[in-house]
């Protein structure tokens, strides 16, 4: 008989704060009403003071039809018009990022429909696409200029390490749905590709600085020049200090974050060849408050820890373009991080070589094929919470893919067929095929459908880790245990890949020259998802008497999910742009009910992801010198963490003092003093509120 685990209830201080939040509800509602009135007045002011001159912002000057022709590369690893991509794709531009007031990549990702972004603390986020979100979410492939930033320790992304000079980002391409045929294992629910500007587009000097309440201080500088006529370059440096968050009881969470980063990019073009050399280095000073399990009542201990992690990467890419449909690409990069905090890592390094060839075949086939090799090497010393056995390990991954774009009817009907073969050290060979159909009856409408298979290969953690979990004080039939029972999560080499079959369909329509709509729907069928099985309870070692209950990773969970994602882009008139999005997600899991509360990214996913998300952005140029940008968001609650729904707004007011100098004032999370968004589960840290923040600054260009 499988034992039932009695999970600990919320602590008294949490219950007290929940009661306070309820009592403050009416006051928050009053504040929201006041803010909405202010917003309405601001919009009226925008309309009143607008003039007929065109903006000097090139993106705002584009019509909706022209925006639909913006080219993306992440869906098929070749340049395509947005309106012709047979995937659910959303592009976040540099102008979107600048107007939003976002100071980091995770906050910028909130603009994309279907993307769940939840801040846990100052330096921690939960980010996923189409569900299965958590701090250690593992079904998303994230790239920076085509360089994978996946960590093999838990098959996810450590967002505090993924940063750049945000003014250098050209666009962020968000692919919702499987991208495994193109990008390989772990591109299960989506792909995010952060693409920076070419060196030629960042010439001159840029300096920006500011500070405020939560964003205590920040500064960044960039210089772009030319080594010769064919070789532009840029260098940058940036740094920031962000404040601590506070726990549900009002205690300082001790998670302040200070960071410094620098980097360069060199582009060289000659004839049909283009070479890019790019690199970054960073240092993070970060803290955390961990809830360590102990055998002494109340069986948890709060430890404040901090570290200085550092790392860097270097990337070399060579492109040779023979024609519009014929090219080759070779890219290699090396990435290394030292003294990572959670899980504590002495070093983690990766090396990657990627080759791609595109060629036409007859008149109707556009073929792209490629090869990839990736190496991961890391060393993870033992701590009270985690032990990796062995401490040091090297893993290899080999892959090959082929994709054929078949023109069935010129300019009307196109079929894409492809597959990828991945070989990894944990499960051997994995095959990930896909088929996509795009129908474009005219220039205003496009319909697409797709079916794909994707897998999430095991991580080192699921094979090699031992996690000291929580202390149980009761078991089925034993309301009071004579000695504490320590639950220990144990990795196993029998853990297999998680699998997905995804069915998708989408529709894009250009309503007028000033309005467009994008709709996508999906049904995802998951199998062999991560679950847990208990082992035999054994006596524990040590001075204090206790028992050990091992819990092993297994593949016992299955799930299905379905949802819709919509976005609308409307320009009421020349200088006012409105962008709205709505996402609906419903997840159903079948798993061991006794262990669902352990894992928000698998068995507990049905209650750990927002069912409804809504976003509305208003970008308005009141004049050539004044901009007002507003961003309203709604996110439904997370029962898994007992987090209620929230509504919030960000606002940015920018004033161009001269052609080269701009001042700005930004308010974030304006509707309440603070709110909760997510919480860490596997490695429990103290639950925090995300505070309201205000910051100001300036930008100088020369």
Do residues 241 and 273 make contact, with C-beta atoms less than 8 angstroms apart? no
Q: Rounded to the nearest 5°, which phi and psi values hold at 625?
A: -105, -20
H or E stretch at 311: strand 300-323
Whether the predicted pLDDT of 44 surpasses 90: no
What is the DSSP-derived secondary structure letter of residue 509?
A: E
The pLDDT confidence band at residue 22, using thresholds 50, 70 and 90, is very low
For the segment 658-682, the average pLDDT, to the nearest whole number, is 94
Residue/partner pairs of 471-479 with CB below 8 Å, 24 or more apart: 471/293, 471/294, 471/295, 471/299, 471/300, 472/5, 472/6, 472/549, 473/6, 473/299, 474/6, 475/3, 475/4, 475/5, 475/6, 476/1, 476/3, 476/4
The dihedral through the CA atoms of 119, 120, 124, 125 has a sign that is negative
Pair type for strands 688-691 and 125-129: unpaired
Q: How far is CA 270 from CA 202, 276, 358, 502, 609, in A?
A: 19, 12, 20, 43, 49
For 161-193, give one letter per residue: b (16+ CB within 10 A) or e.
Answer: bbbbbbbbbbbbbbbbbbbbbbbbbbbbbbbbb
695 contacts: CB under 8 Å, gap ≥ 6: 103, 210, 211, 212, 213, 214, 215, 218, 665, 666, 668
The dihedral through the CA atoms of 265, 270, 271, 277 has a sign that is negative
Whether the predicted pLDDT of 513 surpasses 80: yes
For the segment 9-15, the average pLDDT, to the nearest whole number, is 39
289 contacts: CB under 8 Å, gap ≥ 6: 247, 253, 254, 255, 302, 303, 304, 305, 685, 686
d(CA 266, CA 670): 41
Whether the predicted pLDDT of 293 surpasses 90: no
Say which residue, 608 or 293, is predicted with more confidence.
Answer: 608
At 615-636, the pLDDT tens digits run 999 999 999 999 999 999 999 9
For the segment 469-473, the average pLDDT, to the nearest whole number, is 79
Largest Cα–Cα separation, the chain: 80
- CA 248, 250, 254: angle at the middle one, nearest 5? 95
Nearest of 180, 73, 57, 162 to residue 109 by alpha carbon: 162
The pLDDT confidence band at residue 66, using thresholds 50, 70 and 90, is low
At 159-168, the pLDDT tens digits run 999 999 999 9
The pLDDT confidence band at residue 61, using thresholds 50, 70 and 90, is low
Identify the pLDDT of residue 7. 35
Identify the pLDDT of residue 52. 36
Do residues 104 and 111 make contact, with C-beta atoms less than 8 angstroms apart? no
For the segment 684-700, the average pLDDT, to the nearest whole number, is 93
Beta pairing partners, 210: 218, 697
Do residues 541 and 556 make contact, with C-beta atoms less than 8 angstroms apart? no
The pLDDT confidence band at residue 474, using thresholds 50, 70 and 90, is low
Does 343 sit behind a cis peptide bond, omega within 30 degrees of 0 on the bond before it? Answer: yes
For the segment 589-616, the average pLDDT, to the nearest whole number, is 90
Tokens 């007002």: give the residue.
Answer: 628
Identify the pLDDT of residue 64. 60
61 contacts: CB under 8 Å, gap ≥ 6: 54, 55
Considering the chain, what is the average pLDDT of its residues? Answer: 88
Nearest of 100, 98, 76 to residue 87 by alpha carbon: 76
DSSP 238-284: EEEEE---EETTS-B----EEEEEEEEEEEEEETTEEEEEEEEEEEE
Least confident among 44-53, 239-248, 353-362, 405-414: 44-53
Least confident among 111-115, 245-249, 578-582: 245-249
Computed over its alpha carbons, how large is the radius of gyration of the chain? Answer: 25
Q: How far is CA 354 from CA 272, 371, 478, 497, in A?
A: 20, 6, 57, 23
Q: Where are the beta strands (DSSP E) in 574-656?
A: 576-590, 612-621, 626-635, 646-656
Q: Rounded to the nearest 5°, which phi and psi values hold at 180?
A: -70, -35
d(CA 261, CA 357): 34
Residue 191 in 3-state DSSP? strand
The dihedral through the CA atoms of 95, 97, 98, 100 has a sign that is positive
Most confident of 3-12, 36-45, 214-223, 241-250: 214-223
Predicted TM-score (pTM) of the model is: 0.90
Identify the pLDDT of residue 31. 40
Residue 159 exposure: Cα atoms within 13 Å on the Cβ side: 25
d(CA 98, CA 94): 6
233 contacts: CB under 8 Å, gap ≥ 6: 199, 224, 225, 226, 227, 264, 265, 266, 267
Query: Any idea which fold 12-701 has?
Result: Maltoporin; Chain A (2.40.170)
Report the phi/psi class of residue 597: left, alpha or beta, with left for phi > 0 and alpha for psi in -120 to 50: alpha
At 85-140, the pLDDT tens digits run 999 999 999 999 999 999 999 999 999 999 999 999 999 999 999 999 999 999 99
- The domain locations on the chain are 12-701
Whether the predicted pLDDT of 183 surpasses 90: yes
d(CA 256, CA 271): 49
């Amino acid at each position: 008989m499988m034992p039932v685990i009695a999970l600990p209830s919320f602590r008294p201080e949490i219950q007290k704060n929940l009661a306070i939040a309820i009592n403050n509800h009416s006051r928050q509602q009053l504040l929201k009403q006041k803010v909405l009135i202010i917003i309405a007045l601001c919009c009226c002011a925008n309309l009143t003071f607008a003039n007929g001159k065109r903006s000097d912002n090139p993106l705002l000057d584009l019509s909706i039809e022209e925006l639909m022709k913006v080219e993306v590369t992440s869906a098929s690893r070749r340049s395509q018009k947005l309106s012709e991509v047979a995937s659910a794709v959303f592009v976040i531009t540099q102008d979107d990022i600048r107007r939003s007031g976002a100071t980091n990549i995770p906050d910028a990702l909130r603009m994309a429909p279907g993307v769940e972004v939840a801040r846990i603390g100052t330096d921690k986020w939960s980010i996923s696409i189409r569900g299965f979100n958590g701090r250690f979410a593992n079904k998303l492939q994230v790239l920076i200029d085509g360089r994978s930033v996946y960590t093999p320790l838990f098959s996810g992304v450590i967002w505090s390490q993924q940063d750049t000079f945000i003014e250098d980002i050209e666009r962020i391409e968000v692919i919702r749905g499987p991208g495994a045929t193109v990008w390989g294992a772990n591109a299960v629910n989506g792909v995010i590709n952060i693409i920076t500007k070419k060196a030629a587009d960042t010439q001159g000097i840029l300096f920006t600085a500011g500070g405020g309440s939560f964003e205590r201080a920040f500064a960044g500088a960039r210089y772009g020049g030319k080594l010769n006529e064919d070789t532009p370059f840029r260098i940058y440096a940036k740094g920031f200090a962000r404040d601590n968050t506070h726990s549900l009881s009002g205690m300082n969470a001790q998670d302040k974050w200070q960071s410094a980063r620098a980097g360069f990019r060199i582009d060289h073009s000659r004839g049909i060849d283009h070479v890019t050399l790019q690199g970054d280095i960073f240092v993070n000073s970060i803290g955390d408050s961990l809830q360590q399990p102990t055998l002494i009542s109340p069986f948890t201990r709060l430890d404040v820890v901090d570290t200085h992690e550092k790392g860097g990467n270097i990337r070399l890419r060579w492109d040779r373009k023979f024609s519009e449909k014929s090219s080759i690409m070779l890219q290699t990069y090396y990435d290394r991080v030292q003294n990572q905090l959670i899980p504590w890592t002495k070093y983690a390094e990766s090396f990657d070589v990627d080759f791609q060839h595109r060629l036409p075949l007859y008149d109707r086939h556009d073929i792209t094929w490629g090869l990839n090799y990736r190496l991961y090497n890391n060393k993870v010393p033992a701590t009270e919470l985690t032990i990796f056995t062995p401490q040091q390990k090297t893993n290899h991954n080999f892959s090959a893919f082929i994709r054929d774009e078949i023109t069935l009817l010129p300019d009307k009907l196109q079929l894409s067929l492809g597959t990828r073969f991945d070989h990894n050290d944990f499960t051997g060979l994995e095959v990930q095929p896909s088929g996509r159909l795009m129908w474009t009856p005219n220039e205003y409408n496009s319909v697409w459908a797709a079916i794909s298979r994707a897998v999430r290969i095991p991580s080192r953690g699921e094979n090699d880790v031992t996690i000291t979990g929580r202390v149980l004080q009761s078991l089925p039939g034993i309301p009071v245990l004579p000695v504490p029972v320590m639950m220990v999560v144990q990795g196993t080499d029998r853990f297999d890949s998680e699998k997905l079959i995804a069915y998708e369909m989408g529709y894009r329509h250009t309503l007028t020259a000033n309005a467009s709509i994008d709709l996508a729907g999906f049904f995802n069928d998951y199998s062999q998802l991560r679950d847990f099985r208990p082992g035999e309870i054994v006596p524990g070692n040590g001075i204090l008497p206790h028992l050990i209950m091992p819990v092993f990773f297994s593949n016992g969970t299955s799930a299905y999910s379905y949802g819709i994602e919509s976005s609308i882009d409307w320009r009421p008139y020349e200088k006012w742009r409105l962008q709205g999005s709505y996402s609906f997600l419903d997840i159903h899991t079948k798993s061991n009910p006794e262990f669902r509360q352990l894992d928000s990214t698998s068995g507990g996913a049905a209650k750990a992801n927002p069912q409804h998300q809504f976003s509305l952005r208003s970008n308005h140029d009141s004049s050539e010198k004044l901009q007002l940008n507003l961003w309203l968001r709604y996110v439904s609650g997370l029962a898994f963490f007992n987090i209620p729904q929230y509504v919030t707004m960000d606002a940015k007011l920018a004033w161009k003092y001269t052609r080269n100098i701009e001042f700005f004032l930004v308010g974030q999370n304006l509707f309440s003093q603070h709110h909760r968004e997510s919480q860490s589960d596997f490695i429990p840290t103290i639950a925090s509120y995300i505070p309201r923040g205000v910051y100001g600054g300036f930008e100088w260009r020369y």
